[in-house]
Structure 1
């Protein structure tokens, strides 16, 4: 089905509106004129009967008809009128009917009753032309002392006047509709020119020009909000595309290292025949690299699922004392290897969170703290209960993180210390997973580091009432 352009639809709608308004106004004016003409013609007919009544009252009817037969014809004024004078129930004394109109048979108004517009009878003659008539009794001096006056008129002139007026209304309405449609199309097209320019600018956008922004200064006020939103979207796309490019590069680098090691060791082993101890060591080394690959892939899959808006989490009210105790037991071995002490502040705090996701987030923070803390220091796991939610923090003593790195620590594959990129246990995804988990909980995450104290804080909102 063909879709009409916005310009065509707007101009058509405006033209239809103008046509509707013109038709409504024209119909109202036509009906008003018609009613006024009907009142005028009815009044003229009543006046004529009154004049004849007065004339007959002052003159002898028989003498008047005999001496002045043309007087009554002159009183009619045109050939479409008729006049009949007769004594009641007797043949007409005079009948003037040049148009040969049918003589109406209507009850006359009594001689002593006043004539009003209600006495006029309305009918439709041949050809659909209105015909008006009236009848009244008039007192005379001769017997039988009352004459019946019947008069009527065929309203051809009024019909022609109304037809001409109606045709003029239709003509004016048609011309106004066509002109409105044409002008509306022209002005609408000109008015939509900024939209076409906006479409042309957006058509030039691609990954090479994501930094380009659409100008808002000369844009119409109605489009500024749209352009501002579009520029904001471009900014988000630019940031995300840049991050995606960085992620792809980092992931390719991180995947290339273990794969290169696996390929190199396997190639060396295949050149010459080796003893069983060599192959056992080779398999052990390959197993470690494969574990690193599996962990990296698992983390990437988790981040992909967490980025899905439809990812559902099952939040319950958790006792943080129990969770801290479980994590302390799990990390007691790795911490002891570096002479670190795990300190848990168990003050009865609770958190409304998904158990598995909360444990994974805290495990990543503890793993980072154990990896970078100074040997022989303490790692503090703390929870602060507040009305609006619960803040959980992990603190360790060690080298400070430069301020320019703090904001990017939670980006994928980002490492503040480039010298640690060769660490087989680090993939650069741990803190990114923490951020994704907090986004799923509609929470907040924060990192601060100064005076050799580094603290990572997670805020879990309270359960809605």
Structure 2
């Protein structure tokens, strides 16, 4: 199922936010206005009752009611009002009730009590229109007793006003929502234009343009994304260049032994040879095939070692035991080279035993291959504050800065012409093994001493 676009989602969220805000504001304003108008109407009703109270107290109530009944009707102000004057329990002296509404059954406020807002009673008629009413007792001027004043009003005007106000709020909210939706679509599309620009830049990058980098002239929110993408491009470019270089180096390295095999075989087959000649040819071909096998084995091991996802068999390694194994393995080789192997490995630490043994063996083999005859190869360990250092030191030709910079590269040899048997992969394997252990390898060369160092981080 296709997901909606970011612009659509942002526009909908902005529109929904506006609807909610306007809705809450409209509800709050509506209730605030309703309370204010209700309070005003209640106060107006109490004011009329209080005026009638004052009039009855200061005038002859009976005479006033008989002679000026219209005065009380005029005091109501509209045809939706109700007024009844009567002695308690007696027939009404005057009734003003144009709407013929039933009298509310309410308890009047005592004559000596002031009229307050809680004295107003609120009802709702069958049409849902509010009806307010209040009652009070008023002393007469001639002292003939107390007259009960009952007054009420149907709030049709207020209901109509509030309904109109509600409709205006709904209309304003709807229009505002539509306006914000339209504007938000435009603003969001404009705000997301840098993303479209980045997408176009990314779409233009392929294997032929891995050196291209995205522009960092983008909003601050997108700069971390651009920086991460550019870093990814740098890693891809380095990986692609390394892969291309490895492919070229492999083709070059494999072509030499294969060419040798083909050339020797063609010469041998060009005419009939003695059995001894064929034996020498097979022996030479066997050496070349061994070299190919070693190269392929190293390449497979290197590919496995550079796979960061592979699981390592991390164990606690006794360096003294490891030194005994290495000593026994290289005894014959050192004798052939008239060299001596001095092992000074001590202590314990955590690592993959097979990978560690392979790394040290490659360094020792390299030292035997390039070291001066009659010298000593020293293998040692040193504890450091940040971890443990393993070193292989030999005496031989001093390495220049360019050689030190490339010595761990694949298929690179310091003296190619003198060491054709070397595949140039041994030190690359060492570097890959150290990367798997989150460590690093370094090389130093001065005064005829070459020192290769493996730095393993602390295991605690």
Q: 2:299: which partner in 1?
A: 300
TM-score by length of structure 2 reads 0.93
CA drift of 1:256 comes to 2.7
Whole-angstrom distance in 2 between the partners of 1:462 and 1:147: 102
User: 2:255 — aligned with what?
Assistant: 256
Answering whether residue 287 of structure 2 is matched by residue 288 of structure 1, we say yes
1:419 is aligned, of 413, 417, 430, to 417
CA distance in 2, matches of 1:191, 1:248: 45
Unaligned 5+ segments in structure 2 are none
Asked if 2 retains the 8 angstrom alpha-carbon contact of 1:87 and 1:144, the reply is: no
In the TM superposition, residue 282 of structure 1 has moved relative to its aligned partner by 4.5
Query: 2: CA distance between counterparts of 1:69 and 1:199?
Result: 87
Q: Is the counterpart of residue 120 in structure 1 residue 148 in structure 2?
A: no
RMSD of equivalent CA atoms = 2.2
- Residue 406 (structure 1) aligns with: 404
Per-residue deviation, 1:83: 0.7
Which of residues 367, 383, 386 in structure 2 aligns to 1:385? 383
> 1:15-56 CA deviation, whole Å, 9 max, x = no partner?
221221222122111111111111111111111111111111
Question: Secondary structure at 1:289's aligned position in 2?
Answer: helix
Provide the rounded CA distance (Å) in 1 between the counterparts of 2:425 and 2:452. Answer: 15
User: In the alignment, which residue of structure 1 is the partner of 2:214?
Assistant: 214
Do 1:415 and 1:428's aligned partners in 2 also have CA atoms closer than 8 Å? yes
Q: Is the 8 A contact 1:388 1:461 kept in 2?
A: yes
Contact 2:407-2:427 within 8 A present in 1 as well: yes
Question: Structure 2: how far apart are the matches of 1:143 and 1:321?
Answer: 126
Shift of 1:206: 0.9
SS in 1 for 2:406: coil
Find out whether 1:449 has 2:445 as its counterpart.
yes
Q: After the TM superposition, which residues 330-369 of structure 1 pair with which residues of structure 2 at under 5 Å, given as runs?
A: 330-345=329-344, 348-369=346-367
Deviation at 1:408, TM superposition (A): 2.1
Q: Does 1:434 align with 2:426?
A: no
Q: Secondary structure in 2 aligned to 1:375?
A: coil
Question: How many angstroms apart in 2 are the aligned matches of 1:368 and 1:92?
Answer: 127
Q: Which residue of 2 aligns with 1:242?
A: 241
Using the alignment, how far apart are the partners of 1:288 and 1:137 within structure 2?
A: 130
- The answer to whether structure 1 residue 163 and structure 2 residue 163 are counterparts is yes
1:197-225 Cα deviation digits (max 9, x unpaired): 11111111111111222222x32222223
CA distance in 1, matches of 2:374, 2:24: 93
Indicate yes or no: 2:92 matched with 1:92: yes
Gaps of at least 5 residues in structure 1 are none
Asked if the contact 1:447/1:456 (under 8 Å) is kept, the reply is yes
Query: Contact conserved, 1:351 with 1:460, CA < 8 A, in 2?
Result: no
3-state SS of the aligned residue for 1:219? coil
Moved more, 282-291 or 46-55: 282-291
Residue 127 of structure 2 aligns to a residue whose secondary structure is helix
CA distance in 2, matches of 1:292, 1:24: 83
SS of aligned partner of 1:105: coil
Match of 2:456 among 451, 454, 460: 460
Could you tell me how far apart the structure 2 residues matched to 1:143 and 1:215 are? Answer: 98
Q: Deviations over 1:392-413 (max 9, x none)?
A: 1111222222211212221222
Per the TM alignment, residue 229 of structure 1 is displaced from its structure 2 partner at its CA by 2.4
Contact 1:350 1:385 in 2 (8 A): no
The count of corresponding residues between Structure 1 and Structure 2 is: 460
Q: Map of 1:67-216 to 2, 5 A cutoff?
A: 67-141=67-141, 145-216=145-216
